[in-house]
Amino acid sequence: MSPQRSATPTRPPARRLEVTDVIVVERKKMRTALNGAFVGNFMEWYDFGIYGYLAITMHHVFLSGFGESLGLTLALLGFAVSFLVRPLGGLILGPIGDRVGRQKVLYFTMAIMAAATALIGMLPTAEQLEGWWGPGTGVWVIVPLYLLKMLQGFSTGGEFAGASTYVAEFSPDRSRGFWASMLNTGSYLGFAAGASVVAITTVSVGPDAMLDWGWRIPFLIALPLGAIAIWFRMRIPETPSFEAAAETENAYTDPRDPRVRHGLGGLVRYYWKAILIGIAIVAAEGTAGYALTSYMPTYLENEVGVSNLQAAVATIPVLVVMSLCLPFIGKLSDRIGRKPVYFIAVGSTLALMVPAFAILQIGEEWAVFVALAMVAIPVAFYVAMTASALPALFPTPSRFGGMGLTYNIAASLFGGTTPLFANLLVDATGNKFMPAFYIMFFSLIAGVALLAMAETGKRPLLGSVPTVSSKEEAQQLVDGQDANPFIDTNTMPLPVLFAAGKTGE
């Protein structure tokens, strides 16, 4: 999907940019917006972290009546089922965000996520249920567990799509990769926080108490964390790009014009190429990312013989270091472009994944640490790009809906199901390297898709006016617009064009 579109006969005539047209986002306002998006993603991945590291505990607490193998599969299915409803959240919340604004939807998704996570910590165990209702009834606890995981999935269907859209629209064009990469810094720090809470709780209360009542603590901590996140979300402003597009949305009627807002049908019809490219990239990112974060605890315990606590101790520093590297990778993409960084991600996945799983088989703490660090390298190059490259595939009036559709389809089918499918592949083949081959397969597909993706670095977002960080930069951009290949006013919602469109009717 090219970010520059030539004029069509039905569009009003283009004009030169003026300084007053350019959006200037001051650093203080940018930080406020970023903090609001950051805490939400932190909270979302905190939940993934605690459930991923408590998957075997969840099996014993809720699903022991199903037997060892089936019970563990059902515990991992609880993780996957939340992803299966993510497209529904994206399909509903994305278009709403394009209609009423990003900030309102982000506030809503945060409240649902915090409540659902805390409620999991209040569920009765299978043993308690049988004590109340009689033998054999404990298996029914799986119903409220899955329903709450589905509620989480619905909220996250709008959460990441909305947060990445929000941060991308607030970021200056020349530094969007840097600012947007911090969103996933929050994501993986949230996962590391979840793993840390599980590890600290396990050490503090002991393994027996952990199975009895200690497992509830990480889930209940979601209540105060959620309250803090909601407070931040209440303070964030709406994006200037959305407000500018909303003011002029009735001026354009050509459905091919990037200033026209589309529902789901229009998105699929006019932006199907962008959707397919995005799905391929997110599938590659998701399989690698969720293998590192959500599947590794189960794999290490079942296939390598490493305890849950040892896995957490090895994973936490890897995730923290990886998270802190993301802004540097984002800054690199501002310099060399998004596509070259994505190709680094693809190449490092193909080169490192099999050696990493080979080193895992050693089973020593140092080997686990080294192997996880190797897996984290391609993950870092993928996730650093997500919030800057993917929103740029879609025009501003339809960006939230496009991201909600694209990201959640891929995350649901290929990302969140990674722990389940990887475990099934190992069980079916007896080959402990199957997760590596699974991850590499999707990176190959992403590499092919990248060939069809247009470079979006250093450019205004499609359907938006330029965004800069100072008035001086705005003046420089306007003065040099004739020689700037990234400026195309035919795709920008300029107020004078609105008036021209009206008088031409």
Cβ burial of 500 (10 Å; 0-12, 13-18, 19+) is middle
Q: How far apart are CA 108 and CA 297, in angstroms?
A: 31
Please report the pLDDT score of residue 64 as a whole number. Answer: 74
pLDDT of residue 502: 37
In this prediction, residue 256 carries a pLDDT of 84
Please tell me the predicted confidence (pLDDT) of residue 242. 83
Cα–Cα distances in Å, from 396 out to 11, 170, 240? 17, 12, 11
From first CA to last CA, the distance across the chain in angstroms is 30
Q: What class, spelled out in words, does domain 24-236+254-456 have in CATH? A: mainly alpha
306, two tokens: 């490493």
Looking at residue 352, its pLDDT comes to: 96
- Distance from C-alpha of 348 to C-alpha of 120, rounded to nearest angstrom: 37
Q: Which tokens in the block code for residue 154? A: 């619905």
Torsion of CA 461, 467, 468, 472, to 10 degrees: 130
Rounded to whole angstroms, the Cα distance separating 388 from 399 reads 12
> Taking the mean position of all CA atoms in its chain, how far away is CA 371?
24
d(C-alpha 503, C-alpha 505), whole Å: 6
Reported as type and span, the H/E element at residue 23 is strand 23-24
DSSP per-residue codes, 344-384? HHHHHHHHHHHHHHHHHTT--HHHHHHHHHHHHHHHHHHHH
Which pLDDT score, from 0 to 100, does residue 495 have?
Answer: 64
Burial of 482 (0-12, 13-18, 19+ CB in 10 A): exposed
The pLDDT profile of the chain, 505 residues, written as one tens digit per residue, is: 444 444 444 445 567 888 988 989 877 777 888 888 888 788 877 887 788 778 778 888 887 777 777 877 787 777 778 878 888 888 898 888 888 888 888 888 888 888 998 999 999 988 888 878 877 777 788 889 899 999 988 988 888 888 889 889 889 999 999 999 998 888 888 888 888 898 899 889 888 888 889 999 999 998 888 888 888 888 888 888 888 777 766 677 778 888 888 888 899 999 999 999 999 999 999 999 888 877 787 788 777 877 767 777 777 888 889 999 999 999 999 999 999 999 999 999 999 999 999 998 888 888 888 999 999 999 999 999 999 999 999 998 889 999 989 998 998 888 877 878 888 888 889 898 999 999 999 999 999 999 999 999 989 998 888 999 889 999 999 999 888 888 888 888 876 444 443 333 3
CA distance 200 to 198: 6
The confidence score (pLDDT) of residue 390 equals: 94
One DSSP character per residue, 462-497 reads TTS--EESSHHHHHHHHHTGGG-TT--GGGS--HHH
d(CA 406, CA 272): 10
Q: Which of 440, 442, 441, 422 is nearest to 432 (CA)?
A: 422
* Distances in whole angstroms, Cα of residue 194 to Cα of each of 41, 197, 224, 225, 504: 13, 5, 14, 11, 57
Torsion (CA) 155, 156, 162, 166 in degrees, nearest 10: 120
What backbone torsions phi and psi does residue 24 show, to the nearest 5 degrees? Answer: -110, 115
DSSP 118-137: HHHTTPPPHHHHHHHH-TTG
Q: Please answer whether residues 197 and 218 qualify as being in contact, where contact means their C-beta atoms are separated by less than 8 angstroms.
A: yes
Q: Which residues pair with 308 in a beta bridge?
A: none
Nearest to 431 by CA among 356, 357, 349: 357
* Nearest alpha-carbon partner for 123 in 140, 145, 139: 145
Q: Are 489 and 30 in contact (CB under 8 A)?
A: no
